[in-house]
Amino acid sequence: MTYHIETEHLILREVRIEDTGDMYRLDSDALVHEYLGKNPITCMGKARTYVDYIRMQYETYGIGRWAAIEKSTGNWIGWTGLKYNFEQEMNGHTNFYDIGYRFMPEYWGKGYATESSIAARDYFFEHFPNTKLCGMAELGNKASCRVLEKIGLERKNNFIYEAQQVELAWFEKMP
């Protein structure tokens, strides 16, 4: 599946096999994983598995995370977008759509999470009308909680994510 969405500062496109090295650079960074269970990846094979998983989401569910490219530099800065969560229960939910993003630290604080999440939210409700969109963030990650609120998701409750033993905030939005 091919995606090409432009925002003011970003190009959002499908994740490609050749993004595996960038995905490794992102997910092996300890700072990136501060609010993701503090468990960065340690081998390129895990990055490739993640790229393959995203590409499977495109083919199977017509949705997936997108590579985020900074327009002014052409740099791959991380990923953003949507995911269909069918594998594990989260906060009493299964088979739900999730919005998320992950950027290299040097691109934090530039508004890219909000900008790209607005594009993903709008894409979702255009292509999946009458479907609930969910989001979650570790309680300590106040910036991510704020992004989810800024894009119109309502905070519903907090829950313990057992796999990592961390408390997450749960957000939802209906169209």
Instruction: Decide: 95 and 85 in contact? Cβ < 8 Å.
Output: yes
20 within a domain of the structure (yes/no): yes
Question: Does residue 102 fall inside a structural domain?
Answer: yes
Report if residue 33 sits inside a domain. Answer: yes
Instruction: Look at the chain and report how many structural domains it folds into.
Output: 1
Range of the domain at 65: 4-135
For residue 50, give both structure tokens: 């993640």
Q: What is the pTM of this model?
A: 0.95
Looking at the domain assignment, is residue 96 inside a domain?
A: yes
Q: In what order do the strands lie in the sheet with 154-161?
A: 4-6, 10-14, 65-70, 76-85, 96-103, 133-138, 166-173, 154-161
Q: Is residue 162 part of a domain?
A: no
CATH number at residue 114: 3.40.630.30
d(CA 12, CA 63): 13
User: From first to last of its 175 residues, what are the pLDDT tens digits of the chain?
Assistant: 788 999 999 999 999 999 999 999 999 999 999 998 888 999 999 999 999 999 999 999 999 999 999 999 999 999 999 999 988 889 999 999 999 999 999 999 999 999 999 999 999 999 999 999 999 999 999 999 999 999 999 999 999 987 778 899 999 999 8
